[in-house]
Structure 1
Amino acid sequence: MSPIPQLHETVTYLEMTQPPGQWAMPPRPADWNLVRLDQATPAYYRDLQRIIGEPWLWRERLMMDDTTLSAILEKPETELSVLHLSDGLAGMLELDWSRPNEVEIAFLGLAPDRIGQGLGAPLMAEAQERAWSDPRTKRVWLHTCTYDHPGALDFYRAWGFTPYLREENWFEDPRLTGVLPRHAAPHVPLAGSD
């Protein structure tokens, strides 16, 4: 059996080491409903990841078995919230509080049909507000990669995050392993197709 073709990505890690200065909460739609989930099944969580992350090749959590994924979701340090508007799912926010004095914005994303509707700024503002609400927080960080939304890096910089590390990775194309459908991320050529 021949090896599965791989994709190359650059992962950029960004951080803030102090809370942002005074800023006004960006406007939210009247039907904004960001709900913290105290319990999420692996199946429900994978559905969220597929809906929101499929265009950007989010794959890591989709590849986990139920036991591993449940362990993450059930940790008290995992804060998972889902954004709904009156007509359905709009986005997700996941914070990881497992490291002392720091918070990782593990996932922040919008459903593809919600991008460009002005929801990203209030979702990031909510992430910032929650992360810095604990006086022990000294650092908030996140990462983005080559296949995330093309405006992601500039968006994070505009919110005060500073790049501190870049990594180069290779990974099996999840569309060729069956983790994601072949039509996912049509802007990214299938690995090995060039």
Structure 2
Amino acid sequence: MTRIVHDGYTDLPDGHAAAVATFLEMTTPRPVPPSTRPDLRLAPMRTVGPDDYRAMFRRVGADWLWNSRLRLDDKALSAILGDPQVALYFPEREGAPIGILELDFREMPSVEVAFFGLVPEAIGSGAGRWLMDRALELSWREGVERVWLHTCTFDHPGAMAFYRRAGFVPYARKLEMFPDPRLDGVLPMDAAPHVPLIGRTPI
């Protein structure tokens, strides 16, 4: 059901957060330079368990209020991770995982870069640009006509410019609303300090 939001300010339900999400797409593959980072490797995670996935998801996304996958039970999350049309990778630097790349091929001929990010200590090291090049190499396979992703106003302030430099073009904007994950224990209270915490007393 479509939620009608009128022009101007709209009150949020108690305990909720809202961000503006921008959707971007690439409809023509661009040339990708070969890797010049021998310290970086992309490890396919074909048998990762729900707990290990959640741990990396939190390391990468807590600062940006990523919480959707944290709300899934083991069965639902395992069904996604085990789907042969979902490709999960953990980029590694000198053998240690430093991020997450998840590509969703379930709605071909479109491919979604479902999750893309680095742990805080790897941001600014050039690993993000390297990871995006690898993501595009993996996404543009035979039969693919479009690669897309989205970012939002809770994400890293450089995310939008980064994706546009990579060749993605904005095509839609939506309001995203969800229960604030810091108020119900999904994420710690000190997560995403750039997003003010407003709402009921945590349970």
Give the alignment's TM-score, normalised by structure 1.
Answer: 0.92
Q: Distance in 2 between matches of 1:33 and 1:62?
A: 26
1:90 is matched with 98
1:6 is matched with 16
1:184 aligns with 2:191: yes
Deviating above 6 A after TM superposition, structure 1's stretches of 4 or more consecutive aligned residues are none
Q: Which runs of 5+ in 2 are unaligned?
A: 1-12
State the Cα distance separating 1:74 from its structure 2 match: 0.5
Q: Distance in 2 between matches of 1:47 and 1:4?
A: 28
1:119 aligns with 2:109: no
Q: How many residues align?
A: 188
Q: Which runs of 5+ in 1 are unaligned?
A: none
Deviations 1:8-50 (A, max 9, x none): 1001111011111x3423632x221210011111111100100
Give the alignment's TM-score, normalised by structure 2.
Answer: 0.88
Q: Distance in 1 between matches of 2:19 and 2:35?
A: 32
2:78 is matched with 70
Q: Distance in 2 between matches of 1:108 and 1:23?
A: 17
1:167 is matched with 174
Q: What SS does the corresponding residue of 2:18 show, helix, strand or coil?
A: strand
- Aligned partner of 2:34 among 9, 17, 25: 25
Q: What SS does the corresponding residue of 1:52 show, helix, strand or coil?
A: helix
Deviations 1:84-132 (A, max 9, x none): 1126221111000101212110011000111011101010000001111
Deviations 1:162-191 (A, max 9, x none): 111110122211000100000111111102
Q: Distance in 2 between matches of 1:102 and 1:172?
A: 29
Q: In structure 1, give the amino acid aligned to 2:34.
A: M
2:116 is matched with 108
Q: What percentage of aligned pairs have identical amino acids? A: 47
